Amino acid sequence: MSRNPLLLIHKTVVHNKMKTVLIQILTLLILVSCQSKKSQWYLIKNYDQVSKYKPFGYTSGYVNQNADTIIPLDKYARCFTDTVKYYAIVYDKKQGLIGIDLNETKLFNAVWNGEGSEVKESEGMILIVENKKYGFANNKGEIIIEPKYKCAESFKNGKAKVSNNCLESDDEYLKWKMNTWTFIDKNGNEIK
């Protein structure tokens, strides 16, 4: 029984085309997955090096996943965020406590917690302040709720307490003195 040489050539060509298409698809998938991995920063602290910024004792900065220096030690008076995907909270002597992106562009003013650190992100939202008014940024550092409230607290159970009728408290455990709170959702809509 003789084989048809044209049929054999056709099968070989089809097989090679399929192989080429599969290799192209795999290459594309690898390229896309490599490009989608954003750079991350990791906090470093040097307790043996005294910071030039008083009263901060040690120096801090950031490195990337390859241990390359991204933000040198002591560039900022203090770096707070442990692992940075989109933004970091740093203390700059001129600008204060701020959120910066991966290009070191200021995104917002962060809020002190009263214990020498920043108010932490809660439920994917972080409390921010501008001209003594409070709002919120999301976990990518994007301002979602513009600063417009005289007082605010972090999100809890999907809502945050805000008000424009409040006073700062003298109590070390309570930041605000007031009777009327409004609850908002993560888009800034009032919850009744």
Residue 23: what pLDDT?
Answer: 63
**Kind of pairing, strands 133-138 and 69-71?**
unpaired
Would you call 151 helix, strand, or coil by DSSP? Answer: strand
Residue 36: what pLDDT?
Answer: 41
**Kind of pairing, strands 167-168 and 176-177?**
antiparallel
pLDDT tens column, 16-34: 666 665 565 655 555 544 4
pLDDT tens column, 98-112: 999 999 999 999 999
Residue 108: what pLDDT?
Answer: 98
Residue 148: what pLDDT?
Answer: 97
- The reported pTM is 0.75
Residue 57: what pLDDT?
Answer: 84
Residue 88 has a CB neighbour count (10 Å cut-off) of 26
For residues 38-60, give the mean pLDDT. 88
pLDDT tens column, 158-191: 999 999 988 777 665 556 666 688 999 999 999 9
Residue 91: what pLDDT?
Answer: 95
DSSP class per residue in 22-61: HHHHHHHHHHHHHHH----EEEEEEEEEE-SSTT--EEEE
Residue 63 carries which DSSP code? E
Rounded to a whole number of angstroms, the distance between the first and last alpha carbons of the chain is: 85
**Confidence grade of residue 35 (pLDDT, cut at 50, 70, 90):** very low
Q: Name residues whose C-beta falls within 8 Å of residue 150's C-beta, 6 or more positions apart in sequence.
A: 132, 133, 134, 163, 164, 165, 166
Residue 79 has a CB neighbour count (10 Å cut-off) of 24
pLDDT tens column, 65-103: 999 999 999 999 999 999 999 999 999 999 999 999 999
Q: How far apart are CA 148 and CA 126, in angstroms?
A: 15
Q: For residue 120, which of 130, 110, 134 has the smallest C-alpha distance?
A: 110
Q: Is the pLDDT of residue 9 over 70?
A: no
Q: Are the beta carbons of 185 and 191 closer than 8 angstroms?
A: yes
